[in-house]
Amino acid sequence: MKIALVTDSTSVLTEQEAKENNINIVPIPVIIGDKEYMEGINITSTQLFEMQRQGAAFPKTSQPSMGEMIELFNKLHSEDYEAIIVITLSSGISGFYQNLVNMKHNNPEYNLYPYDSKMTVRLQGYLVLAAAKMIKSGMEPEVILKKLDEIRKTIDEFFVVDDLKNLSRGGRLSNAGAFIGTMLQIKPLLTFNEDGKIVAFDKIRSLKRAVSKVEKLTLEKTAQLSYKDKLRLFVFHSNDLKQAEEIKEFINTNFPGKPVDVAEFSPVIATHLGEKSIAIAWMIDIEKLDLTK
């Protein structure tokens, strides 16, 4: 079966990865004032924060228009793709996945397979790369999605935001009420729950202490994993490479020999988390999995 693979720009795949794996990347819009920017095309997280410092309007994000999606699916359909797998950012922070589910029912000719990563950034990106490997090996869509479920179960993360202004204003924190209005120096610890929604689970005084707590929690949680010999770890940051590099040193010390990806949050995600946000995440390393059968 000839299967097309589509994802959105929050997966932060490189141009080379997309080209080598025949991945179609749909940009997500970031709206600042009356101007629309396209993630991965004409805005970076650094530019986003610089515009904020210059007094730009509070950024908002949107979804790829369904008109654009139909145009892409028509193109793929005309190229004789018999099925289209679309791996999206978490449905807990975007309605994109649900819109694709609706489109699947309304447009059966595309043979769409929407898949909710329940994550974003490189965690989502590695799910996409895993799907690409399975497509190349000739697997059917149902089998691919089932294996993605197994990989997705290995993903976990903790992150800290410098303040909740962006998350609460954008409505992306499901239990914001319990954390708003606290002292300025209180830093919330957050994670994605099983529904792919961002939830705060603790609050620590000062960013430094919050990062230390996240590091401690990472050690405790990963020590219990059955696949800890196959771990891949991640450090994500919002315009705070110095902090990210310090956490990378902590990971290298405590997880010797394990691969570590350091990357910025994409502009769409940075819009909601704000500057100086930091995260530690992990998943099973897809490079150590046999995805050919």
Per residue of the chain (293 residues), what is the pLDDT tens digit? 999 999 999 999 999 999 999 999 999 999 988 899 998 888 888 888 888 888 888 888 888 999 999 999 999 999 999 999 999 999 988 999 999 999 999 999 999 999 999 999 999 999 999 999 999 999 999 999 999 999 999 999 999 988 666 666 655 555 455 455 454 567 888 888 888 888 888 888 888 999 999 999 999 999 999 999 999 999 999 988 999 999 999 999 999 999 999 999 999 888 888 888 999 999 999 999 998 87
DSSP letters along 253-288, please? HHSTT--EEEEEPPHHHHHHH-TT-EEEEEEE-GGG
Query: Domain 156-288 is in which class?
Result: alpha beta
Domain 3-28+63-152 sits in CATH at 3.40.50.10440
Put residue 140 in one of left, alpha, beta given phi > 0 → left and psi -120 to 50 → alpha.
beta
Residues with Cβ within 8 Å of 273's Cβ and at least 6 positions away in sequence, in order, are: 159, 161, 166, 167, 238, 265
Cα separations (Å) of 269 from 11, 48, 82, 105, 262?
10, 11, 32, 29, 15
Question: Using an 8 Å Cβ cutoff, are 60 and 29 in contact?
Answer: no
* Cα of 65 vs its chain's centroid, Å: 19
CA 272 – CA 92 distance, rounded (Å):
13
Domain boundaries, the chain: 3-28+63-152, 156-288
Question: Using an 8 Å Cβ cutoff, are 116 and 127 in contact?
Answer: no
* Cα of 193 vs its chain's centroid, Å: 14
Query: What is the pTM for the complete model shown?
Result: 0.92
CA 94 – CA 185 distance, rounded (Å):
29
Express the helix, strand and coil content of the chain in percent, nearest 5 each.
Answer: 40, 25, 35
CA 32 – CA 42 distance, rounded (Å):
13
Which DSSP category does 205 fall into?
A: E
Residues with Cβ within 8 Å of 284's Cβ and at least 6 positions away in sequence, in order, are: 151, 154, 227, 230, 231, 232
CA 258 – CA 213 distance, rounded (Å):
21
Question: Using an 8 Å Cβ cutoff, are 166 and 57 in contact?
Answer: no
According to the model, what pLDDT value does residue 194 have?
Answer: 86
CA 226 – CA 51 distance, rounded (Å):
44
Tokens of residue 291, six digits: 């995805």
Tokens of residue 56, six digits: 């730009």
